[in-house]
Amino acid sequence: MTSKLNVPMVQGTLQNQLEQTLIEMAHGVVAELLDKKLRAQRIKLTKSQLKAFAKRILAGELDFDDGKSEVAAITLTEHDTADLNRRLDELNEKVPALAKEFLQKTSAEVLKLLKSRWRSEAQQQRRTLQGFRKRLHQRWGPGIDKLSLLVAIARDFGSSLAHEPGELEAKPTTIDLLRRLHARACQITEEIIALLTHGFADGAMARWRTLHEIAATAYLIREHGEDLAERYIAHDIVETRRAALQYQRYAQRLGQEPLSKDELAE
């Protein structure tokens, strides 16, 4: 799908502008040194001439004759070279700050430009997606509809299922946990349907693996009963503590309040 926003083009333009700004600053450093040397010989060039001279020198062209300027020989001493290198190094150290300042000034303008193009682009994207989903439904619609029917049956079954009183009393933890796993499986299947309907097959496959894990867990708990069900539920405390410790480690970095000792102990 081709976008009219041309974000890469805008990014490239910004990059070029930043690079040009830095090059001009380097030219300015060299031009100042040239101006100093030429003035010592009582030769004065215009800013544009100095800029052209500096550009040629940085490009490796040591001979420069525009047919108008006086002839002069410029000799750079070790002191001049060291001073020039120092100033260029200082400029190089300022690049991150200059880049940040440049982006802050231009980002608002770029965002405004992208927003001005978004309405027509959004309409085009919606038309493209509608066409894609129509073709997807023509090919996979019958299978997705059957999956929707299956989850509807499973959801109704789960909500209306009544257990024998004896089994519920004998295995309250097992039955309660199986109900929760069943509800979770129905929810994940709905997510799978949503992903398939919009063409995200890889995401649907990832959720299907989770669905398979839930089915395997439910099968094991149904087979092994109360003991395994109680251990499975008790393991939530382990996961909760692990999450709490991770939160405690990164709370300040995230700008959040760390847990108190009492909260962590609880």
pLDDT tens profile 14-44: 667 767 777 777 777 777 777 777 777 777 7
* Boundary of a domain, candidates 93, 119, 144: 93
Note the pLDDT of residue 86: 79
Note the pLDDT of residue 36: 77
Residue 72 has pLDDT above 70, yes or no: no
Question: Could you tell me if residue 49 is inside a domain?
Answer: yes
The residue type of 61 is E
Question: Could you tell me if residue 106 is inside a domain?
Answer: no
How many CA atoms within 13 Å lie on the side-chain side of 108? Answer: 4
Cα–Cα distance for residue pair 168/177, rounded to 1 Å: 12
Q: Are residues 89 and 147 in the same domain?
A: no
Question: Could you tell me if residue 218 is inside a domain?
Answer: yes
Cα–Cα distance for residue pair 171/179, rounded to 1 Å: 12
Q: Are residues 143 and 261 in the same domain?
A: yes
Q: Are residues 49 and 165 in the same domain?
A: no
Note the pLDDT of residue 146: 96
pLDDT band for position 197 (50/70/90)?
very high
Residue 215 has pLDDT above 60, yes or no: yes
Pick the more confident residue, 86 or 212: 212
Note the pLDDT of residue 168: 59
Average pLDDT, the chain: 81
Note the pLDDT of residue 193: 97
Q: Are residues 146 and 68 in the same domain?
A: no
Contact, 4 vs 113, CB < 8 A? no
Residue 50 has pLDDT above 80, yes or no: no
> How many residues does this entry show for the chain?
266
Question: Could you tell me if residue 126 is inside a domain?
Answer: no
The reply to whether the predicted model has a pTM over 0.75 is no
Cα–Cα distance for residue pair 227/252, rounded to 1 Å: 40
Question: Could you tell me if residue 229 is inside a domain?
Answer: yes
Residue 164 has pLDDT above 90, yes or no: no
Residue 58 has pLDDT above 70, yes or no: no
Note the pLDDT of residue 138: 94
* Boundary of a domain, candidates 38, 67, 93: 93
Pick the more confident residue, 191 or 84: 191
> To the nearest whole percent, how much of the chain has pLDDT over 90?
38
Residue 157 has pLDDT above 80, yes or no: yes
pLDDT digits (tens, 9 = 90+) for 97-154: 777 777 777 777 777 878 888 888 888 889 999 999 999 999 999 999 999 999 999 9
Cα–Cα distance for residue pair 129/125, rounded to 1 Å: 6
Note the pLDDT of residue 6: 57
57 lies in which domain range?
A: 7-93
Kindly report which listed range (55-69, 144-158, 182-196, 241-255) carries the lowest average pLDDT score.
55-69
Q: Are residues 238 and 151 in the same domain?
A: yes
**Total count of domains within the chain:** 2
Question: Could you tell me if residue 131 is inside a domain?
Answer: no
Q: Are residues 261 and 180 in the same domain?
A: yes
Residue 11 has pLDDT above 90, yes or no: no
